Structure 1
C-alpha cells in the first residue's frame, strides 16, 4: 500500500547534528485507513522509535497484552514501534474509514521514557479533537510535504512538549490525589523538623495513618523508602552547614537529628565518601 494513497498530508523533520540524549521528531501525519488487511504488530517490527496516534474519526483497534480496545474519536495511544505487547489495526468489522493523526519520533532515551510511561500510565489516553495537543499537531498541516529543519534543542523540546501535553491530565490527577497530598505533607514536615526524632512510626502517628500505609504510599509516590528519604534530607542539610557555617561537626550532627555523633559520622562517610572534616576542608559539593 503506497503512503500517498492513505496519508492526507505529512510533514517531515530533520534535526541538525542531533544530540544523543535528546529525542528527535521524525514526522507528523494525518492518515486514513480502510483496508481490513491493515495491521501493525510490534512483534514483527524491527524499527526503533516510538509513536503517538490520535483517532480523529471513524474507528480503529489496538491489542495491548492480548486485550483488544476500540480506538474511537478522542482516543489516543503512545507506544514504542517494536513493543511486542502492541498491535494496532483496522477493525475487521469496520464500516467507515479510520482517520487518525500521528507523530513519530526516535532516540534511545525517548524509547526508555515511553516504556516507563506505559508502565506508569498505560498505553491509552483521552485526547479530545478540540484539545491543545491536537491543535498543535494540526498546525503542521500548513507545511504539508515539506521538511522542517530544527536544532537539537528545538527538536527535543517539540517531542517533550507533545508528551507533556499528552500526560498532563493524568499528572494533574496524580497531584490532586489524597496519596500525593499525604506525601507532600510528610516531605514538608521532614524538612521543617530535621533536628527532631523522625522515623516511620513517629511520622505515621503524627499523620494518623498506619506505618504500613505510610511506607507503601511514600515509596509508590516517590520511588524512595521513607527512611532513606529522611537520611538524604539530613545529609543534605549537614553538607550545607559544613560548607556555609563555622559550626562544629558535632553541633551539625545534633541539628540534623543525630543524637550520637558516631552514627552521624558513619552514615555521612558511607553515603558521601568523605568524613565531615574532609568535606569541609576540600570544599566538596556532593550530589545527594
Structure 2
C-alpha cells in the first residue's frame, strides 16, 4: 500500500494549493500531512513507516504524496523507482528569480534568517541549487519514461487555475472536480507582528518533524492551531520587488539549465527572464 503519484516540487510553486485542492477530490487520497519527505529526508525509517500514512485509503483511484523536497534531492529519484517503478510524477516549476525571492521571504517571515537576499543566496547553496530544474529532472529521466512525468508551470496556475488542474486530472486519469478552494491562495507572504511568537510556531513544527511525530503534527494542523496563531500574529505587509541585480545574478546562474529545459518542454521560457 502506497502512492501511485507524487508531486516532487518545486518549493514555492503552488504545491500547497495543489495539496489542498486534490485533498477535496473524492477519488484522490492524500495523507493528512503534506510533505512526508520520505524519499529525501526520512528514508532510513523504512518503507513500512511510509506506507502507514496511506492506510486510510478507502478505494480511491489515486493516492499521492506532495513533497517538494524530492525534485532537488540527489537520492530521491532512485529510491522512488526502487519501490514504485510505475508511479506518476508531477513537477511544478516557477520563474527562478521569483522562486528564490519567494523562498527567501518565507525564511525571513519565519525567522530563519535576518540577512539580505544577496547574502543568503551566496551562503545557502540550496537557494541556487533548487532552481536548476533541468538538472534535477534529468535524474528522474534516468529511471522513468517521459510519459510518467508531468511538468507544469506556476505561471500557468496563476493565469488559469482550472486549466492547470485539468492537466493534473487528465494525467492522473480521474474526473474533473473543481471545489471552491481552486480560487484560494495559500502560503502568501506575511510579516509577523512578533518574531518570537513566529519562531515558537515554526520551531514547534520543525521539532515535530525532527522527532518524526508527523501524525501528531497532522492532528494539530487539522485543529488549525498554528494557522490560527499565525493569523493573529500577522500584520499587513506588501512584499518588496526582487532587486534587479539579484534577478540578473539568478538568471545568469540558470541560463544554460533553462535553455535545456526549454528544449525538453518544447516551450519558450523567455518570460522567466
Is TM-score (shorter-chain normalized) higher than 0.5? no
TM-score (norm 2): 0.25
More strand by share: 1
TM-score, normalised with respect to structure 1: 0.24
The structure with higher relative contact order (CA 8 Å, sep 6+) is 2
Give the greater-gyration-radius structure (CA): 1
